[in-house]
Amino acid sequence: MPHHSAAQRRRLEALDRAGLADHQLSRLNDLLTTILPDNRFYAEKLATAPHHLEHLDQLRELPLTTKEDLLADDAALHWPANLTWSVDQYVHYHQTSGTRGRPLSVCDTAADWQWWVDSWQYVLDAAEMTSTDRALLAFSFGPFIGFWSAHDALVERGTMAIPGGGMNTLARLDLIKRTGTTALFCTPTYAMHLVEVAEEHSINLAHFDVRKIVVAGEPGGSVPATRQRIETAWNARLTDHSGASEVGPWGYSDRQQRGLHILEAEFIPEFLSVATGEPAGEGELSHLILTSLGRPGMPILRYRTGDLVKPSWPNDDNNHDNERPNHFVLLEGGVLGRADDMMIIRGVNIFPSSIEQILRSFPEVVEFRLTARKRGEMDELVVEVEDRLQDPSRIAEELQLRLGLKVDVRLAPTMSLPRFEGKGKRFVDQR
């Protein structure tokens, strides 16, 4: 069973801000004691910074870490730069998906991997996963870390885990039906693709046994229109999750599906204002910075995730679930987008997820692609849609109404746009 019981996880979620800060400070100092001086990467990086913090505000005295830092030695040595011990002490090897450049190798000791599994239990709690569920993971099970840790977390919980790698979509649908799968784990894109293939073969997914869907890898799980389309087609409840290979499984849906809670029992989040670079306030668009507290074999301190978010800090006055209070910081709307993906079109900040929310509100739109490019000094956006009504003008009108911008919407031939089994790549940046 997981190291923390369900009751212990609920107790940690219910801590007030002062209690949570004490917990995080203790964990952070334990981590620093464990990794220094053995971790050469951080021994050098923290040479002039405090190695024992008296309060969490001192965390800002530590330098930020970027993915480029971790890749620095990777080309020559293959292994990530921030390993604490010799490679022979590690038992799990994975790598990032490589969707944004050269893949980064990641390694975990047995204890580190147990931390992944324990952290995933918060996600499974949010999805109300039980030992009577049968969970199919529609995932390749290659070196990308993806749902590997989810698989092991399900097994530890006593839930049947059904690997869905190495087969096409129709075969996966057959496996879901034959096994009486009750919980599906996949990307939002693939949940939608399963719906499309089922419709092509006159398969009614609402008659399947799936009643729980856990998605990760893309913002779509926290995009209301996307979530609603998935839930309606499957007759299931969707739980969103966010994590990163180099950081860990850091976020999960709140029960009211307003966004993502950051797992503050295992991570320290910071929010730097996009406008000022200073600590962000409530609801301010900000860069997400994360420190992992339970992975000494490959520690990460003050990591620039590249995600843009709007934080809010729940309290008992605005808590909507008195039976299970959760005071972990809430990212309303989840991850709004990547810093690199934000477009400024005629002075308006636009994220691909904002476009997705509008496009998914049209049930006739099967697939889409966004292309950003430069026209002079300005960003320009082209939207291609596979539309069963063959009428892109109504979509352009809705985009102009909702965004206040005139957007070039073009009709794409049926089945001409790419389909994806993993992370969807619907945003093409030519800027």
Question: Does 396 map to a domain?
Answer: yes
Distance of alpha carbon 63 from the chain centroid: 24
290 pLDDT above the threshold of 70: yes
Question: Does 208 map to a domain?
Answer: yes
Question: Does 273 map to a domain?
Answer: no
| Lookup: tokens for 46 | 């923290």
CA distances from 207 to 182, 212, 321 (A): 11, 14, 31
Whether residue 250 sits in one domain with residue 346: no
pLDDT digits (tens, 9 = 90+) for 165-211: 989 999 999 999 999 999 999 999 899 999 999 999 999 998 999 99
Whether residue 23 sits in one domain with residue 116: yes
pLDDT of residue 4: 75
pLDDT of residue 317: 62
Torsion of CA 416, 190, 336, 20, to 10 degrees: -170
The angle at the Cα of 99, spanning 97 to 100, to the nearest 5 degrees, equals: 120
Q: What is the mean pLDDT of residues 120-145?
A: 95
Whether residue 71 sits in one domain with residue 198: yes
pLDDT of residue 155: 97
pLDDT of residue 337: 86
| Owner of token pair 């990212």 | 331
Residue 74 pLDDT grade (very low, low, confident, very high; cuts 50, 70, 90): very low
pLDDT digits (tens, 9 = 90+) for 242-264: 999 999 999 999 988 899 999 99
Question: Does 284 map to a domain?
Answer: no
Residues of the domain holding 384: 342-429
pLDDT of residue 8: 95
- State which of 226, 259, 292 marks the end of a domain: 259
Q: How much is the pTM? A: 0.88
Question: Rounded to whole angstroms, how far apart are CA atoms 187 and 185?
Answer: 7
Question: Does 246 map to a domain?
Answer: yes
pLDDT of residue 404: 83
Whether residue 80 sits in one domain with residue 188: yes
Question: Rounded to whole angstroms, how far apart are CA atoms 293 and 33?
Answer: 12
- State which of 259, 288, 303 marks the end of a domain: 259
pLDDT of residue 319: 60
Whether residue 351 sits in one domain with residue 254: no
Asked if residues 248 and 216 have their Cβ atoms less than 8 Å apart, the reply is no
The mean of the pLDDT values for the chain is 91
pLDDT of residue 425: 79
Check which CATH number belongs to the domain holding 409 and give it: 3.30.300.30
Whether residue 366 sits in one domain with residue 249: no
Whether residue 357 sits in one domain with residue 216: no
424 pLDDT above the threshold of 90: no
Q: What is the mean pLDDT of residues 273-301?
A: 96
Higher-scoring residue by pLDDT: 316, 151: 151
Question: Rounded to whole angstroms, how far apart are CA atoms 310 and 284?
Answer: 5
Question: Does 297 map to a domain?
Answer: no
344 pLDDT above the threshold of 50: yes
- State which of 259, 292, 321 marks the end of a domain: 259
Asked if residues 118 and 166 have their Cβ atoms less than 8 Å apart, the reply is no
pLDDT digits (tens, 9 = 90+) for 89-117: 999 999 886 655 577 899 999 999 999 99
Higher-scoring residue by pLDDT: 265, 424: 265
Whether residue 137 sits in one domain with residue 8: yes
Question: Does 302 map to a domain?
Answer: no
Whether residue 246 sits in one domain with residue 121: yes
Residue 406 pLDDT grade (very low, low, confident, very high; cuts 50, 70, 90): confident
pLDDT of residue 273: 96
Q: Percent of the chain beyond pLDDT 70? A: 94
Question: How many structural domains is the chain composed of?
Answer: 2
Whether residue 214 sits in one domain with residue 351: no
Q: Percent of the chain beyond pLDDT 90? A: 73
Check which CATH number belongs to the domain holding 223 and give it: 3.40.50.12780
Exposed/middle/buried for residue 382 (C-beta within 10 Å: 0-12, 13-18, 19+) = middle
Lowest mean pLDDT among 234-238, 304-308, 373-377, 390-394: 373-377
> Which positions ≥6 away from 376 have C-beta within 8 Å?
none
Whether residue 70 sits in one domain with residue 196: yes
Question: Does 305 map to a domain?
Answer: no
Lowest mean pLDDT among 77-86, 146-155, 323-332, 408-417: 77-86
